[in-house]
Amino acid sequence: MRKQLFFLPFLVATSLVFGQKEDSAFIKSISDEILNNGKAYDYLHQLTKGIGGRLSGSPNMVKAENWGLKVMQDIAPDKAWLQQCMVPHWVRGGKDMASATFRYVSKQDQQHELDVLALGNSDGTGNKIVSAPVVMVNSFQDLESKKDQVSGKIVFFNYKFNNTFIHTFQSYGDAVKYRGGGASAAAKYGAVGVIIRSMTHSVDNNPHTGAMRYDSAYKRIPAFAVGLQDADWLSDQLQHNTILSVQMRSNAHMLPDTIGHNVIGELTGSEFPNEVITVGGHLDSWDPGEGAHDDGAGVVQTLEILRTFRILGYKPKHTIRFVLFMNEENGGRGGDKYAEEAKAKGEKHIFALESDEGGFTPRGFGFTVPDDKFKKILTWQPLIAPYGCSEFTRGGGGSDIGPLGRTFNAPMAGFSPDSQRYFDFHHARSDVFENVNKRELELGAVNMAALLYLVDKYGL
């Protein structure tokens, strides 16, 4: 008996070492396949240059869905299908325009064109031009202090990205409330329009659009984002007592909801087919650019992981679903539908991973999991770290897998690439194929595939 007990720790240790070598070898095969033969960059070129921006409800949305299903079918998972969901249908309706009329004291009026984009889900100006003096505010608190000056004016929210946050998503989270709720906050005091400083710390003048929402208690007024150079110009004019008014014109409007689809591919589990692991990104994008980083990168990384598992002959223990979600940008209907249908079918979801932070250099993953599961995940860190994802942090997921987490209390993770350049391109005309690096994009797929392999093999 003592002899058996003596050898037991040795056998356990030997088994762990063997398992790590086996895991390391398979992850290396994933990396070699993607870096030598990867198709993600080719897929991204097809999606961005062949289709372009993919706003929910638009003809390009339909093209993207058909493209995604065709690529899935060519890779040949066990199943591939479209999952219908109703999506909002917001239309930009042409070129958005804003110009500033300004005059220094005792001089003639001059015009300055502003580089602007209407915010997503906003109402335009109809067949007229809205023209009014401008009131600049730097925060909601500043708006409260100037509320008596706002009626009949255009409010300019000049809230800047906080440069001291190293992780730039903190800057975005801090500032995005002005894009989302600025219009109704200003309309409460009688404003006739709003201009929002773009959600970026870039040095160019590209305006960055994005979703906003109206409070039904107040008038729906037009809302624009303005490029940073023009935002600084406006601020400078207003601070130097220039007589200034702005003219706004937009044809933006909402149409009735229309039919969209999630695109889903599946590898059926060999041991636990009723336990589901989900990985995905969102297929829709804003219209000014090509949606290359947001979220073409996540889409093609998802497809690349599926392709690689098939090429390597990997047969997962659990069912793995590869989902190209629809309507993350201005409604989240695809993620809601996926979770709703999973609940109705009585499915069991054990893990979900999302890529929606661009195709930049891998840094890590953020996990929303209980303590015991996070301790288990940390034992995998040495296997994944050589490929770039060395930062395993608490808190993470994504908009599309969030409903899964809430519905099933499922463990979630978000892929976290380097964030420094993401908001240079986010929701702007510069989010194009040329601004994605092939190797960075592929390394993201390597790290995501490695994590999925380990979750599938060892469970959570």
Q: What pLDDT, on a 0 to 100 scale, did the predictor assign at position 110?
A: 87
Hey, what are 203's tokens?
């040095």
Supply 293's token pair: 């980083």
Model confidence pLDDT, tens digit, residues 209-224? 999 999 999 999 999 9
Q: Go through 293-316 and write b for each residue having 16 or more CB atoms within 10 A of its CB, e for each that does not.
A: bbbbbbbbbbbbbbbbbeeeebeb
pLDDT attached to residue 105: 65
Q: What percent of the chain has pLDDT over 90?
A: 92
pLDDT band at 242 (very low <50, low <70, confident <90, very high): confident
Q: What is the CATH number of domain 93-251?
A: 3.50.30.30
pLDDT in tens, 335-374: 999 999 999 999 999 999 999 999 999 999 999 999 999 9
Rg (CA), the chain: 25
Task: State yes or no: pLDDT of 429 exceeds 90.
Answer: yes
Cα–Cα distance, 165 to 168 (Å, whole number):
6
Q: Would you say residue 9 has pLDDT above 60?
A: no
Confidence of residue 1 (pLDDT cuts 50, 70, 90): very low
- 235: Cβ contacts below 8 Å, ≥ 6 apart: 136, 156, 158
- Mean residue pLDDT of the chain comes to 95
- Architecture per CATH, 25-90+256-458: 3-Layer(aba) Sandwich (3.40)
Listed in sequence order, the residues at least 6 apart from 58 whose beta carbon sits closer than 8 Å to its beta carbon are 89, 91, 287
- Distinct helix (H) and strand (E) counts, the chain: 13, 16
Q: What is the pLDDT of residue 106?
A: 63
**pLDDT by residue (tens digit) across 224-241?**
999 999 999 999 999 887
Residue range 323-345: mean pLDDT, rounded: 98
Reduced to 3 states, what is the DSSP secondary structure of residue 208?
A: coil
pLDDT of 33-42, one tens digit each?
999 999 999 9
User: Helix, strand, coil: what percent of the chain each, to 5?
Assistant: 40, 25, 35
Average pLDDT over residues 127-138: 96
User: Could you read off the pLDDT of 63-82 as tens digits, one per residue?
Assistant: 999 999 999 999 999 999 99
Percent of the chain with pLDDT over 70: 96
Tell me where in the chain the CATH 3.40.630.10 domain(s) lie.
25-90+256-458
Q: What is the average pLDDT across 238-245?
A: 85
Res 10: pLDDT: 46
| Residue ranges matching CATH 3.50.30.30 in the chain | 93-251
The residue behind tokens 């390009």 is 60
The pLDDT confidence band at residue 15, using thresholds 50, 70 and 90, is very low
